[in-house]
Each structure stands twice: as C-alpha cells, then as structure tokens.
Structure 1
C-alpha cells in the first residue's frame, strides 16, 4: 500500500515526465518548421541592428565612432575571408549605418566585394530599412488603439 507521500511522489514524477515530454515535442515542432532558421536569423539581425542604432543615438565622440567603424569593417572583412559571410555582412552593415558618407563606402564595397556578397548585403540592408520604416507606424497604431 502506497501512502500519501508516496502518491505525491509518483504524481510529481509523472508530472515532471509529462512536462519534459511536452518540452521535447514543442522543441522538435519548432525546429522542424521550414522557416525556423530564416526567422531566427532575421531576429538576430534585427537585434544586432537595433543595438547599433541605440548606441548610435547615444552621444558618442567622433573618435569612438571612428574606432567602432574601423572595428566593424575589420571584423566584417575577417569573417568574410574566413567563410562566415552572414556574420561578416552584418558587421559591414553596422559600419555603413554609422558611416558619415555611406554612398562612398557602398561604392568602395561594391568594387572590392564579390557580387553575390554585395547583393546579400544590399538585400539585408533593404530588409532592415523596411522594418525600420514600418516600426513607427506600428507603434503609433498601438498607441492610438489603446486610447
């Protein structure tokens, strides 16, 4: 005969096993989604670019901006050279965002980068700009709907 404490232990163990099973099932469903990696990558880019924008909005000295710009260019070039094109492109986009003359930098990058990498960078920049244009509209709509 099982006592009250034994019954409680059995119920706790069953509940724990069911919870772990649910977690494993949910994780498998999430990872098997065909858009999972794309969505994950887009969220990382948005987070990265949002942090750059927030640091760019903070008053920084010209020297700090120059150091940040040069480190982003260097990291981007290094990662692309090592084969990590996605991360390298993100760093180059960060450098473009803080650059004083982005059109000249884009011309330079166009002449030095392979066309497929440059095209990838332009697509990501366009996606970032489109999301930034949509963001204030969504915030305004939420603010007016709560009134």
Structure 2
C-alpha cells in the first residue's frame, strides 16, 4: 500500500503540473501575436488542404485540343513558379512536372528548368516526372474508355 506521504506528494505534483499548464496557457493566449500566429497557421493549413485537393483533382485538358493544352501548360508553369517562390517545393514541383508531361517538347523544357532551378528542386522534379506521366496516361485511358462507353 502507498503511504500517506506518497499520496500527498503525488497530489502536490499533479497540482503543480496543472498550475504550470494553466499559467503557460494564459501567458500564450495573452500574447498579442497569438491570434495572428493562430490565424496564419490555420490559413496555411487551409491552403495546403486546398492544394492537396486540387492536386488530386487536376483536370487535364483534352490533349487533342492544342489551345486548351497550351492554356493548361501556361497555367501549370505559372502556378508552379508561384508556389516555388512561396517556398512550397512539393506543390510547385508537382505543377511543373505536370507542365513538362503535357509539353510538346519536354526535353527542351527540362533543359531550361535544369538551368533555372536549384539542383535539389530539379532532382525532385526528375523524381516526380514519371509518376505524373503515369497519372496522365491513366487519365487518358480512363477518358478514352468513358468516351467508348458513351458511343
């Protein structure tokens, strides 16, 4: 059995810990920057969630329509550059690799990107490119099967 002193010591330690938690929570909440930091974290989390949703639902254009492919290509390059400039490397590389995959001359674009991007970002792009290419091919196959079902 536990002695009275052990029970009292445990109670005192628990009370001190609870007081410690309450004190620092109040201190954190009374910080004038707390709400700004919290707002920024939530906005960043929401943006990442939207980006993840957008990445999973990228609507590829009809690859037979040159104008829509060109518009999609420019949009993906701009979005990729914007995300890279904001420091979001994963999503930026995702969009750039999609642009390379739908590009008419991917070898030329890869050479340009190799010169313009940092080596570690370019390595990420080269690792991501096969995955994106497979996704585009599977989307084209699924679209073709849907078209055949309609006919």
Structure 1 length-normalised TM: 0.49
Structure number with greater Rg is 2
Structure 2 length-normalised TM: 0.48
